[in-house]
Chain A
Amino acid sequence: MEEIRIAVYVCHCGVNIAATVDVVEVARYAGTLPGVVLSRDYVFMCSDPGQDLIRQDTKEYNLNRVIVASCSPRLHEPTFRRVCESAGINRYLLEMVNIREQCSWTNEDKEANTEKAKALVDAAVRRVHYQEALEVKEAPYNSSTLIVGAGIAGIQAALEIANSEHKVYLVEREPSIGGHMIQLDKTFPTLDCSQCILTPKMSEVGSHPYIELLAYSEVEEVSGYVGNFKAKIRKKARYVDESKCTGCAVCMQKCPYTTDSEFDLGLTKRKAAYIPFPQAIPNVATIDPDICIYIQSEGKKCGACLKFCDVGAIDFNQQDEILEVEVGSIILATGFSLMDPKLIPQYGYGKYNDVVTGLEFERMVSPTGPTEGKIKLKDGRDPESVAIVHCVGSRDKNYHEYCSRVCCMYALKQANYIKEELPNTDVYQLYIDMRSFGDGYEEFYERLCEEGVIFIRGKVAQVTDQAMSDEERGKLIVVAEDTLLGRTIRIPVDMVILCNALEPQADAGEAASRFAVNQKATGFFLERHPKLDPVATPTEGVFVAGCCQSPKDIPDTVAQASAAAARILAMISKGKITLEAAVSAIDEEKCSGCKTCLNLCPFGAISFDEERKGCQINEALCKGCGVCAGACPSGAITARQFTDEEIVAQVEGVLV
């Protein structure tokens, strides 16, 4: 057997490690351990000179094992694996010891940290004696992409990928694509008409040869791995044949049954047979089975749409369809929902008619909205004064601690709507801090100051109709401290707009487990790295874009969606993926065929070979979690890179 020749490198990480760990002592100690032919401490192992050190030493000392005691392997294991490979050492003969996140950063006691670092290094040295070189395999990369959610994020990513002539399956659970952006009237700070800039993209999506649009559909199941995912998609029955429907809307005119319009947030009604809004894509009708009397009465009543549809598109026999698609990558662009302001009863939403949310106001000013673009109180009058309340449920430990990031700017935009239409109406902004950080945003803030909007710095305590003076009678009174004056202020207004918090979709948790991604404490999806990889997730091949990752405005959403698309195009262009070799393997001789492992495997990587009466592992699906190896009663399964010998040796190193 080849002699084990180990080198141990102890990194200072500037002062990140060296300040609270005696790195020189750790390196000295490492040098005394069996098999270690060389040990060094160095200021930055990840730097070019640090990397060169490993390459030179490998040659000079004829090394065949490398241990780097530095940061988390999540950060630099790929770096040092590359270095080892370039020096002719198999990547699986590298071992990283985390003496930063799990040692130097956790405690200020230098002596204790140093002892701990020594123990961790000892463990690694004992472990590498048992490590073996593993062969790295490759698999082809499917060039199709699944995008979940067709708001601006999903639409942008879909077009980027499809325009490179790669197939996209774009899934949207609502009857039309467009998301929240299509509900907006204008966009800040340029005041572009939201529909005008979005509908060309929507229509491009609807007719793109490389985009298969699956609206009114939901992903039910995902299996496989990066490069080779399989997804089951439920295409819900619209009771309308999409291929025949021309979007003429005659069914909608004739349908006698109504319910609240989701698109107009309940401010208008829609029919049971409906197209949610005029520019909907796909421009086809949907029949809502919960409202439709024909469906409810099992065909005994109504049927108006059937009679009047000229093209015979109505099909009450339509069933949900399950589609199975194979894709290489997935983008989650599932968006956000808005916090129910009724949770903050002191703001009077739901109690006073003229307390509305920002999105409701957006519908009100939209020419296609409930008041055809006119700013009106519920009784039809023009408001003489409006208060816009910031941070409703945002930046508030009682609801959401985070900043919703778009409210300051849309509050300014909405003040502009009011000033444009009703120049004599007073507009008050009640803010805690004005956050106008984006390109052109500060200038927009300045413009609104010029327009005469009144800014009051203070968090609103209460909206009430309890007047304390004649001036307040019949008004909504907004109570706050004007913190710049240091006085409690009561502002009588006619209308209150609440900037309610953006929050994760109600079913974000289910989506997270379906796509094997994680949620942050806020409930939004977790990105792989908040700064250096805000597009990927810890699950290879699954990306995030838009507000499902964190609240963001349209420019940031579009940038992130484009970035996700670029990442996927890069992988498609490479055409193959490297498979993790540190996975489980079954010794067929020892396997008794008991199938214990079969049901435990969380990735469906194990199958049963009827002929051989034994289990087998698909190495491409296996993630190397080791559950099977731990459970196998006959010890037939080995988790490579995590063998019993390796782990026992490591434990000994820590404890002995």
Chain B
Amino acid sequence: MEVLSPYKEAADVIFEAGGEPLKLCYQCGLCTSICPWNLVRNFLVRRIMHEAQLGATDFGSEDVWTCVTCRACVQHCPRGVEIIDVMRAVRRAVASLGIGIVPDALRISAKNIAGVGNPLGEAPEKRNDWAKDLQVKDFASGTELLYFPCCIPSYDPDAKMVARSTVAIFNKLGIDYGIIGTEAKCCGEAIRKAGHEETFLSLAQNNIGLFNSSGVKTVIVSSPHCYHTFKDEYPELGGKFEVIHITQYLASLIDEGKLKLSKKIDKKVIYSDPCYLGRHHDIYDEPRKILQSIPGLELIEFPDARENGLCCGGGGGRIWMDTPKGERFSDIRVDQAVDKGAETIALACPYCLLNYRDSVLSMGKAETVQIRDITELVAEAMTEE
């Protein structure tokens, strides 16, 4: 008979890697029954916590890499356990000590990020190519705002629209902003969640050095993931600047009467809350305010919106890993949106954008429902009739 013995050394490795909060877990299982994975497959969050408590973690299991860090479980955990920190600690143990297997897809992205500073493996000098034909200034000391679009809109041919729409809005409003040089690298949020702590630290130091030496005081970001790491993780490494998500900024411009949306968009639009904007940072109202300011646009809601919003499946490094058909959260979301009669799914996160785009294409729904970033809709609504 196979018996289990507690293995304290393994537990200590996890504790030291930041898994300390799991000591509080009393095994009620609320996390498992809240976790969205259990809509599509078995994923026993509680058991992972208990295995880690005993040092009985199966470091070779794919479960190590499953968590999308959407924070649904943390939000309700009765013991306040930062479950994401535990998941990250287990991954750190694998990545740094080599005591398990890092999935291939993740290993490639990690290598790209460490090597060329972006997960797509694109040339660093091409980072700002998306802005080539647009009138975009380089950030210089004294420029009011830095716009930091995230690697995906910088390189991905489709996602470039996010960055291009954003600067189109800025240019039209005469905002004093600039973009930073191609020495900038990935913010590192996701690779850190995927357990690659050393890579994260080197990315963060690079960006902090660059921002500080350029005199950056305020950064506007397109990605909730950049928002999260700049706001919550960079300060303790010396990166202290104000961080504003584009939806916050646009909502404030609407409040101040500086941004007026006049062109009608007669569409039923459904908004999907990004986990790192919503549950991680309680930003729910600003994106909705922007959409509701667009004339003609009818904003509808998913059955599980806001705090209960379903993740797209792209957090915690999952954006680089393959999720089999039938287990993709964004597929469920697209079905829900179509059921609700939505013509457009509005997004505010580049990872969501990639996942939803893949979903509508693979599901053959690209004609039924459009996938658009909020900035695209705003840029369109600003155009004079």
A residues sitting closer than 8 Å to B (CB atoms) are: 346, 391, 395-398, 432-433, 457-462, 479-483, 486-489
Contact = CB atoms under 8 A, between A and B. Distances in A.
A605 to B, nearest CB: 45
A480 B79 contact: no
B79 A481 contact: no
Nearest to B34: A461
A398 B33 contact: no
A386 to B, nearest CB: 19
Interface string B26-65: 1111111110001000101011000000000000000000
Contacts of B77: 397
Contacts of A482: 29
18 contacts: A346-B76, A391-B78, A396-B78, A397-B78, A457-B29, A458-B33, A461-B30, A461-B33, A462-B34, A480-B30, A480-B33, A481-B29, A481-B33, A481-B46, A483-B28, A483-B46, A486-B46, A488-B32
B295 interface: no
Nearest to A397: B80
B30 A459 contact: yes
Q: Which of B32, B33, B42, B79 has the most CB of A within 10 A?
A: B33
Contact of B28 (A398, A458, A488): A458
Contacts of B78: 391, 395-398, 459
A252 B32 CA distance: 53
Contacts of B79: 397
B280 to A, nearest CB: 17
B339 to A, nearest CB: 13
A569 B76 CA distance: 48
A403 to B, nearest CB: 11
A487 B79 CA distance: 21
Interface residues of B, number: 19
Given A432-B27, A480-B33, 17 more contacts: A395-B26, A396-B78, A397-B80, A398-B78, A433-B26, A458-B28, A458-B29, A459-B33, A481-B31, A481-B32, A481-B44, A481-B46, A482-B29, A483-B27, A483-B46, A487-B42, A488-B42
A483 B34 CA distance: 13
A396 B32 CA distance: 16
A481 B30 contact: yes
A487 B35 CA distance: 12
Contacts of A488: 32-33, 38, 42
B172 to A, nearest CB: 42
Nearest to B78: A396
A481 B45 CA distance: 10
A481 B44 CA distance: 9
The 8 closest A-B pairs by CB, nearest first: A481-B29, A459-B28, A396-B78, A461-B33, A481-B32, A483-B29, A458-B29, A397-B80
Contacts of A397: 77-80
Q: Which of A396, A482, A483 has the most CB of B within 10 A?
A: A483
B24 to A, nearest CB: 9
Contacts of B30: 458-461, 480-481
Contacts of A398: 76, 78, 80
A398 to B, nearest CB: 7
Nearest to A344: B76
Given A396-B78, A397-B79, A479 B33 contact: yes
Contacts of B32: 458, 481, 483, 488
A458 B26 CA distance: 10
B26 A432 contact: yes
Interface string B1-32: 00000000000000000000000001111111
Nearest to B31: A481
A486 B44 contact: yes
Contacts of B29: 457-459, 480-483
A462 B47 contact: no
A489 B30 CA distance: 11
Contacts of B47: 486
Contacts of A483: 27-29, 32, 46
A459 B32 CA distance: 10
Nearest to A488: B38
A603 to B, nearest CB: 41
Q: Which of A457, A460, A462, A488 has the most CB of B within 10 A?
A: A488
A433 B79 CA distance: 14
Contacts of B26: 395, 432-433
